[in-house]
């Protein structure tokens, strides 16, 4: 099941959801509660503020859901 990221149109906060690729459920911003979110393909998304040098992480991209 792929990981998708939704960027809030109101505040810009990105919330991650694990769901089927054809899921059509609504997703609310976890920060402000707005339902106005745009889906991002996390595999191609650049995480803001992400660090590639974080120690103790086995995830090379920083987008692993279990990290």
Query: Contacts with Zn ion: how many residues (CB under 5 A)?
Result: 8
Stretch binding Zn ion (CB under 5 A), from 14-22, 25-33, 41-49, 58-66? 25-33
Report if residue 14 touches Zn ion, rule: CB under 5 A: no
Smaller CB distance to Zn ion: residue 20 or 39?
39
Report if residue 28 touches Zn ion, rule: CB under 5 A: no
Query: How far apart are alpha carbons 57 and 67 in whole angstroms?
Result: 7
User: Can you tell me which of 28, 34, 61, 63 binds Zn ion, judged by CB under 5 A?
Assistant: 34
């Amino acid at each position: 099941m792929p990981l998708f990221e939704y960027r809030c149109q109101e505040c810009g906060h990105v919330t991650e959801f694990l769901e089927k690729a054809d899921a059509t459920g609504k997703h609310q911003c976890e920060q402000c509660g707005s339902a106005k979110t745009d889906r991002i393909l996390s595999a191609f998304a650049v995480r803001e503020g992400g660090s590639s040098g974080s120690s103790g992480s086995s995830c090379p991209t920083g987008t692993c859901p279990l990290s």
